[in-house]
Amino acid sequence: MHLRDSLFAYKKHGCKGLGVNLKKLARQFVDFATVGVIAFLIDYGILMFLSQIVGWNPVFSAFISYVISTIFNYVASMRFVFTHRADLSRRREFILFVIFSMIGLGMNEVIIWAGTASFGNGPYAVTASKLVATLIVALWNFFSRKHWLDAGE
């Protein structure tokens, strides 16, 4: 569909003209957010434990916590949020999920590094950095998975 056709379809039919069911998309985003909150609690809990109690570097701690929460996120997202695409094997689906997660990890690490380099390694700086990273990475995760992994049924 060309831009002109898309604009005409939107003007005539609203979002339905673009093939977007906003109600369904909103529900899916709520499910994604629910899984995301649980994954965040896992991620944040491990990050704070490793960086503040064990005393590890916050960037390294963020790497460990992100990887662990991503495993949970894959299982929960593909079970409760997204519909498996028939044209993707589970192996390929997992590989794509890992690739998207690695991009998100890179974003997460850069944001945590920038935040702690600017504001220190204390709990408030780590928390603020993690919250900013979480918002940005969550948007990336939803739209990348929605576009490339979801069957959309």
pLDDT in tens, 2-53: 434 544 444 555 555 556 688 988 999 999 999 999 999 999 999 999 999 9
Structure pTM? Answer: 0.73
At residue 3, the pLDDT reads 39
Residue 84's DSSP bridge partners are: 150
Contact 21, 29 (CB under 8 A): no
Q: How far is the C-alpha of 46 from the C-alpha of 136, rounded, in Å?
A: 20
Rounded to 5°, angle at Cα 150 from 149 and 153: 160
Bridge partners of 150? 84
Does the structure show a pLDDT above 90 at 80?
A: yes
For residues 90-103, give the mean pLDDT. 93
